[in-house]
Structure formats: structure tokens, C-alpha cells
Amino acid sequence: MKFLPLFDRVLVERFTAETVTKGGIMLPEKSQGKVLQATVVAVGPGTVTKKGDMQPVSVKVGEKVLLPEYGGTKIVLEDKDYFLFRDGDILGKYIE
Amino acid sequence: MKFLPLFDRVLVERFTAETVTKGGIMLPEKSQGKVLQATVVAVGPGTVTKKGDMQPVSVKVGEKVLLPEYGGTKIVLEDKDYFLFRDGDILGKYIE
Amino acid sequence: MKFLPLFDRVLVERFTAETVTKGGIMLPEKSQGKVLQATVVAVGPGTVTKKGDMQPVSVKVGEKVLLPEYGGTKIVLEDKDYFLFRDGDILGKYIE
Amino acid sequence: MKFLPLFDRVLVERFTAETVTKGGIMLPEKSQGKVLQATVVAVGPGTVTKKGDMQPVSVKVGEKVLLPEYGGTKIVLEDKDYFLFRDGDILGKYIE
Amino acid sequence: MKFLPLFDRVLVERFTAETVTKGGIMLPEKSQGKVLQATVVAVGPGTVTKKGDMQPVSVKVGEKVLLPEYGGTKIVLEDKDYFLFRDGDILGKYIE
Amino acid sequence: MKFLPLFDRVLVERFTAETVTKGGIMLPEKSQGKVLQATVVAVGPGTVTKKGDMQPVSVKVGEKVLLPEYGGTKIVLEDKDYFLFRDGDILGKYIE
Amino acid sequence: MKFLPLFDRVLVERFTAETVTKGGIMLPEKSQGKVLQATVVAVGPGTVTKKGDMQPVSVKVGEKVLLPEYGGTKIVLEDKDYFLFRDGDILGKYIE
């Protein structure tokens, strides 16, 4: 069973927070920065424009994106944390 | 007598909350998480777009959907609890 | 003399509150639930869309509807209480 | 000299408050209900729609209307009180 | 040098407040009502509609208008007080 | 190097405040009124309308304009104070 | 790996704050003004207009722009600070 976001929602999985410094010291959870990089896991079909056309979302599954610091909805699928963001709230993407 | 939501409203029935842990211990009501999974029971006809066309809702009767944590209107039909959500507030759906 | 709502307003008459329990005990007014079922008594002509067409309301005189818990304007016509709701605020209707 | 409301404004004159009960007792001003029935005295030309057409107001001079309990602008013309309401704020009209 | 309002702004000059009662008693400034009648002195070219046409303002230079009690921007031109109002905020005009 | 405002922004330079009264008395800074007259120094290209056309701003470089009392963004270019206003916030212009 | 802003977002790099006065005195960080000049580093593809066309942003990579005093989102790319602004929030650009 797969989860499909509706409208212009984008399901992302945040990168794992670094828990060990480069020098090998373990970081307590509080010192770990909020991870804003994420991978797109699923995208909604987009929104219907006023002209009646479907406006697809601007990111694709598998792309690496930069999330805003606030916002997004945490959802749990099979005991794993994901986040839903509106397409328009995603700041940008990393391209090769 | 059947209930038909108006406009882009979607009538859902939440999944039953788990009242017993996997280990067999009964959970007090407070410890039971809010159930966000629901089944679509009835859908409105949609909304009329600015071009005058009917824009149908994005979910169908029988589909399993993920609800937002807040919002929705509880309504009681034949002593059973249902919830009305705007189509655009439903986060996503589960597909096979 | 008849009352005609303007625009997309809908005039409804709420069902009578149950004042006696199934067991025959009279309920004090405070214990009577707020009645959300109502019958449509009169409807406005609708609103003009941006394309210039008249968009009629989605309910008809005589239909049974479900009202939202809050909102609506109480008006008194010939010593009887009625309520005006915007078409878009009516949650749904009961169909046979 | 005549007063002409601009845009979708409607000039109304409220019905006279009943100052004597059916039994002939004079009511002090405080006990007199706010009169919500009014007669349309003058109407504005309407508003221009996005398509560029003039959208006339939905009431005509001489019609009896039901006013909302709040809102409206009191204006005095030749020592007489009138009220200006936006066409869309008038709840409905009484027709024969 | 002349002042030309921009967009849908209307420049008005309020009527002079009555400083003497009909009986000939001079009124202190506090007792003088706020004057809401004004003469249109200059009008802006109007606003461009979504269709790209110029929508002229609804009053003309020289017309007598009724101002709302609040709002408007006082401007001083050659030591004389004038007021700028948006065309849509002017309540109505007096016609012969 | 020249500064070009973006969209419908207008760059203005305020007239110099009068620091000496007509009678020749120097005014302390506090007594100097806020100068609302300004000269247009640069204008943005305008905004794109919904129809896709460029809607130019309503003032031209060199024109004398009346600014609103509040608003505007002070910017410093080569140690001189200028102010940026949205075209729609400029109250009017002085024409010969 | 390159960062690509989405929609009408513009990635800028602020000019370096002057840390030494013209007279050669080092400025403590507090006395250093907020730098509002920046260079455009990357631009989003723009936004889709209601007519369905792509409306590109109004600045180009390499252009010098003037930022508003508040707003913008700080993002860190390869240990360097950048800022994301909406195209419409950038005040103007410097042209030769």
C-alpha cells in the first residue's frame, strides 16, 4: 500500500541528522541542527489552474530539496517519519 | 435516507482506535492516539470553477485517506460519528 | 406576503427539538440539543459568476439539510423563527 | 435636490418602531425592538463586473427589505434618518 | 500649478461648517458637527480593470458628494484644506 | 552606476524642508514639517497584468508628486536619501 | 551540485560588510550596518500566470540588487551564507 499526496502536496523524507561531529564526538540531540535537506518520496498530481489545466508540482520523486525551517506536516507511514509540504513552500532543489 | 455532502465536502469515517496494545494491555482512552486514517463514505459534487465547469473532488467513496490532525466537522448520522472535511484539506490517500 | 432571500442565501426552518426522551421524561430546555436538521423554506436566486452567469444555490425548497453548528442569522417571520444561511455554509442534504 | 447612492449602495428608510403595544400601553424607547424592515428609497447604479458589464443591484426603489441587525451607515437627509447598505448585505425582500 | 489625484482618488473640499445657529447664536468649535458634504475639486483618471480598460471614477468635478464619517486623507494645497477619498468610499452624490 | 526600481516602485527625492520661516527665524528640526512633496527620480517598469501586458507606472521621472504621510522605504544612494514608494501609494501629482 | 531556487525565488549573496572605517579604525560587529546590496547567484524559473504562461523573475544571475531591510530566508550552502528573496520583494537593481 502506497501513500499518494493530494493536490500540490509533496511527501519528503529528511536527511538523517549528523549525530557525530567530524572529530568523532557524539552530539546530544539538542545540539543537532534541524535537518532541512530532504528527498522527495511522493508528489501530488498538482492543482487545477483557473483555466482548467492541471498545474503539476515543480519537484520530482527522488530529487533533493531544501525545506523551509518552519511548516510542513509530520506524518508517520509504517513507523517512519515523513513530512508533507506544499509545493510552493519548498525553497529549492539541488541539481547535479 | 442518505446524506449527501454539498460542494467539495467529503464525509469520512475514521478507522477504529486501537484500544489494546500488541502485548494485550488495554489502553485508557487518553493514551489512544487520534486516528487520522479514514474511509471516504460520501463525497460532494465538487465546486464550480471560474470557467463554469464542475470541479469534482479528488477522492472517491471507499478510498482510504489521511486526515489532517485538526479541522473537520463531526456529524452524527444514525448514532454513528462521521467527519466532514473539505476536499482540499485531506492530506493524501492510500493506494494499492 | 412572502420572504425572498437575496443572492445565495437560504431560508430554513429547524426541526423541532425533542423535548421528551424516548422513556417519556420531559427534558429541560438546557438539555435539549441544538437542532441541526432543517427544512429549506426559500432560496435566493444565486450569485452571478465572474463569467456573468447566474450560479443557482445547491439546495431546493422542501429539502432536508444539515446546518453547521455555528453561524446563520435568525429572522422572525409572522412570529415564527427561521434562519438564513449562505448556500456554501450548509453542510449537506438528506436524500431518499 | 435628490441623493443618489454610488456603486452598489442602497438607501433605505426603516419602518417606524411600534411605540404602543397591541393592548394600548406606550413602550419606553428602550423596549422598542430595532426595526429591521425598511423601504428602499434610492439605489446605486451597481458595480462593474470583471467582464466590464454593469451589475445592477438586486432591489428596486419601493421594495420592502429585511436588513441585517448590524451594519449600515446612518445618513441624515433633510432632517430625516436614512441608512445606506451595500446591496449584498440586505438579507432579503418581501414580495406579494 | 494644479494637483491631479492618481488612480481612483477624488479630491474634495468640504462645505463650511455652520458656526452660527439659525437663532443667531455662535457655536463653539466643539459643537459644530463634522461636515460630510463636499464638492469634488479634482478626480483621478480611474483604475485599469483586469480587462485592461480604464475604469473612470464615478463622480465629476463640481458635483456635491456625501463623504463617509471616517477615512480620507487631509492634504493642504496653497494653505487650504482638501481631502482625498477613494472613489469607492464616497457614499453618494446630490443631483438636481 | 544607476539605480533602477523593480516592478511598480517609484524612487523619489523629497523637497528640502524649510528651515527658516518667512520672517527669517530659523526653525529647530522638530518644528519642521514632514515634507510630502517630492520629485520622481526613477520608476520601475511596472507590473504585468493578468492579461500578460505590462502596466506602466502612472508617474514619470521629473514629475512633482504628493507622498502619503506614512509608508515608503528610505534608501541611501551615494550618501543621499531617497524614498521608494509603490506607484499606487502616491497620492497625486502637480501639473502645470 | 548546484542549488536551484523554485518559483520566483532569488538566491543572493550579500556584499561584505565594511569592517574598517575610511580612517582605518576597525568597527565592532554591532556598528557594522546591515548590508542591503547583494549579487544575484541563482534565480527560480518564475511563476505560472493565470493565463498559463511562465512569468520569469525580473533579475538575472550576476546583477547587483538592493534588498529590503527585513525578510528573506538565510540558507547555508557549503558553509557560506546566502539569502533567498521573492522576486517581488527585491527593491531594485543597479545598472551601469
Model confidence at C40: pLDDT above 90:
yes
Residue C51 lies in a domain: yes
Distance of residue G8 Cα from the nearest chain F Cα, in angstroms = 14
Q: Report how far residue G17's alpha carbon sits from residue G37's, in angstroms, rounded to the nearest whole number.
A: 10
Q: Which residue has the cell 485592461?
A: E52
**Residue G68 is part of which domain span?**
9-93
Chain F adjacent subunits, 3+ CB pairs under 8 A: E, G
CB C94 within 8 A of CB C59: no
Within 8 A of B93 by CB-CB distance, chain A residues are 3-4, 6
Within 8 A of G58 by CB-CB distance, chain F residues are 6-7, 45
Segment C53-73 shows an average pLDDT of 94
Q: 3-state class of F60 per DSSP? A: coil
- Note whether E3 contacts F94, CB cutoff 8 Å: yes
The amino acid that residue B79 corresponds to is: D
Q: What is the pLDDT of residue B43?
A: 98
- Note whether D91 contacts C2, CB cutoff 8 Å: no
How do residues F70-90 score in pLDDT, each as one tens digit?
A: 999 999 888 899 999 999 999
> In chain E, which among 1-40 make CB contacts under 8 A with chain F?
1-7, 9, 11
Q: Report how far residue B46's alpha carbon sits from residue B7's, in angstroms, rounded to the nearest whole number.
A: 5
Segment D13-38 shows an average pLDDT of 76
A91, E14, G89 from G8: Cα distances, Å: 10, 46, 10
Per-residue cell: G14: 550579500
C-D C-beta contacts closer than 8 Å = 50
- Note whether E93 contacts D6, CB cutoff 8 Å: yes
Phi first, then psi: give them for residue C31, nearest 5 degrees: -80, -10
Q: What is the pLDDT of residue D39?
A: 98
Segment F53-76 shows an average pLDDT of 94
Per-residue cell: C20: 421528551
| CATH code for the domain in which residue C66 is found | 2.30.33.40
Q: What is the pLDDT of residue A33?
A: 65
Closest partner residue to G2 (CB to CB) among A49, A90, A95 is: A95
C44, C46, C75 from D69: Cα distances, Å: 19, 22, 10
C51, D2, G7, G11 from G83: Cα distances, Å: 42, 60, 15, 6
Segment D60-81 shows an average pLDDT of 94
Q: What is the pLDDT of residue G29?
A: 65
| Mean of all residue pLDDT scores within chain F | 89
Distance of residue G95 Cα from the nearest chain F Cα, in angstroms = 5
- Note whether G94 contacts F11, CB cutoff 8 Å: no
How do residues D83-94 score in pLDDT, each as one tens digit?
A: 999 999 999 999
- Note whether A2 contacts B90, CB cutoff 8 Å: no
Q: What is the pLDDT of residue F37?
A: 95
Q: Report how far residue C56's alpha carbon sits from residue C10's, in angstroms, rounded to the nearest whole number.
A: 11
Model confidence at C29: pLDDT above 80:
no
Residue E40 lies in a domain: yes
Q: What is the pLDDT of residue G30?
A: 63
Residue D1 lies in a domain: no
How do residues B6-47 score in pLDDT, each as one tens digit?
A: 999 999 999 987 677 767 777 666 666 678 999 999 999 999
Q: What is the pLDDT of residue E25?
A: 75
CA dihedral F15, F21, F24, F28 (to 10 degrees): -90
- Contacts made by residues B22-28, CB under 8 angstroms, sequence distance 24+: none
* Selected residue of G1, G2, G4, G6 to mutate for chain A interface (largest A Cβ count, 10 A): G6
The DSSP H or E segment spanning B43 is strand B37-43
Segment E42-58 shows an average pLDDT of 88
A-B C-beta contacts closer than 8 Å = 50
Model confidence at C34: pLDDT above 80:
no
Phi first, then psi: give them for residue B11, nearest 5 degrees: -95, 125
Residue C24 lies in a domain: yes
Sheet strands side by side (includes E92-95): D2-5, E92-95, E64-66, E37-43, E9-14, E80-86, E73-77
Q: Report how far residue B1's alpha carbon sits from residue B3's, in angstroms, rounded to the nearest whole number.
A: 7
> Which burial class, exposed, middle or buried, applies to E20 when counting CB atoms under 10 A from its CB (0-12, 13-18, 19+)?
exposed
Q: Report how far residue E55's alpha carbon sits from residue G84's, in angstroms, rounded to the nearest whole number.
A: 37
Model confidence at C50: pLDDT above 70:
yes
In chain C, % of residues over pLDDT 70: 88
Q: What is the pLDDT of residue D30?
A: 63
Residue G3 lies in a domain: no
Closest partner residue to C94 (CB to CB) among B1, B51, B84 is: B1
Q: Report how far residue C6's alpha carbon sits from residue C43's, in angstroms, rounded to the nearest whole number.
A: 8
Per-residue cell: D56: 445592477
Segment E61-86 shows an average pLDDT of 94
Q: What is the pLDDT of residue A44?
A: 97
| The Cα angle at residue F45 between residues F77 and G52, in degrees rounded to 5 | 135
Closest partner residue to G91 (CB to CB) among F1, F6, F52 is: F6
Name which residue leads in pLDDT, A22 or F94: F94
**Are there at least 3 beta-carbon pairs closer than 8 Å between G and F?**
yes
Segment D6-19 shows an average pLDDT of 91
Residue F43 lies in a domain: yes
Model confidence at A25: pLDDT above 90:
no
Residue G1 lies in a domain: no
F-G C-beta contacts closer than 8 Å = 51
Confidence of residue A81 (pLDDT cuts 50, 70, 90): very high
* Number of structural domains in chain G: 1
Q: What is the pLDDT of residue C30?
A: 63
- Note whether A53 contacts G52, CB cutoff 8 Å: yes
Q: Which residue of C has its CA nearest to B9?
A: C91
Model confidence at A45: pLDDT above 80:
yes
How do residues A8-18 score in pLDDT, each as one tens digit?
A: 999 999 998 76
> Which burial class, exposed, middle or buried, applies to B13 when counting CB atoms under 10 A from its CB (0-12, 13-18, 19+)?
middle
Name which residue leads in pLDDT, F19 or E76: E76
Model confidence at C52: pLDDT above 80:
no
Q: For strand C73-77 and strand C80-86, is the pairing parallel, antiparallel, or unpaired?
A: antiparallel
Phi first, then psi: give them for residue F87, nearest 5 degrees: -50, -45
B/e letters for A22-59, b = 16+ CB within 10 Å, e = fewer, are eeeeeeeeeeeeeeeebebbbbbbbbeeeeeeebebbb
CB A13 within 8 A of CB A41: yes
Model confidence at E55: pLDDT above 80:
yes
Within 8 A of C59 by CB-CB distance, chain B residues are 6
Model confidence at G52: pLDDT above 90:
no
Q: What is the pLDDT of residue B37?
A: 95
Model confidence at E62: pLDDT above 70:
yes
Q: What is the pLDDT of residue C93?
A: 97
Confidence of residue A32 (pLDDT cuts 50, 70, 90): low
> In chain F, which among 34-63 make CB contacts under 8 A with chain G?
42, 44-45, 48, 50-52
Segment G41-53 shows an average pLDDT of 87
All residues at 6 or more sequence positions from D48 whose CB lies less than 8 Å from its CB, including other chains: D54, D55, E49, E55
Closest partner residue to A73 (CB to CB) among B51, B55, B91 is: B91
Report the length, in residues, of chain F: 96
- Note whether F6 contacts G90, CB cutoff 8 Å: yes
| The Cα angle at residue F24 between residues F19 and F25, in degrees rounded to 5 | 65
Q: Report how far residue B70's alpha carbon sits from residue B83's, in angstroms, rounded to the nearest whole number.
A: 12
CB E88 within 8 A of CB E65: no
Segment F27-40 shows an average pLDDT of 78
Distance of residue E21 Cα from the nearest chain D Cα, in angstroms = 15
Q: What is the pLDDT of residue A29?
A: 65
Model confidence at C27: pLDDT above 70:
no
Confidence of residue A30 (pLDDT cuts 50, 70, 90): low
All residues at 6 or more sequence positions from B31 whose CB lies less than 8 Å from its CB, including other chains: none
State CA B68 to chain mean position distance. Answer: 10
Q: What is the pLDDT of residue G31?
A: 60
Segment A43-68 shows an average pLDDT of 91
Per-residue cell: F23: 520672517
- Note whether F93 contacts E4, CB cutoff 8 Å: yes
- Note whether F3 contacts G66, CB cutoff 8 Å: yes
Closest partner residue to E51 (CB to CB) among D2, D4, D52 is: D52
Confidence of residue D41 (pLDDT cuts 50, 70, 90): very high
DSSP codes of every residue in chain A: -EEEE-TTEEEEEEPPPP-B-TTSPBPPGGGSPPP-EEEEEEE---EE-TTS-EE--S--TT-EEE--SS--EEEEETTEEEEEEEGGG--EEEE-
Residue G69 lies in a domain: yes
Confidence of residue C23 (pLDDT cuts 50, 70, 90): confident
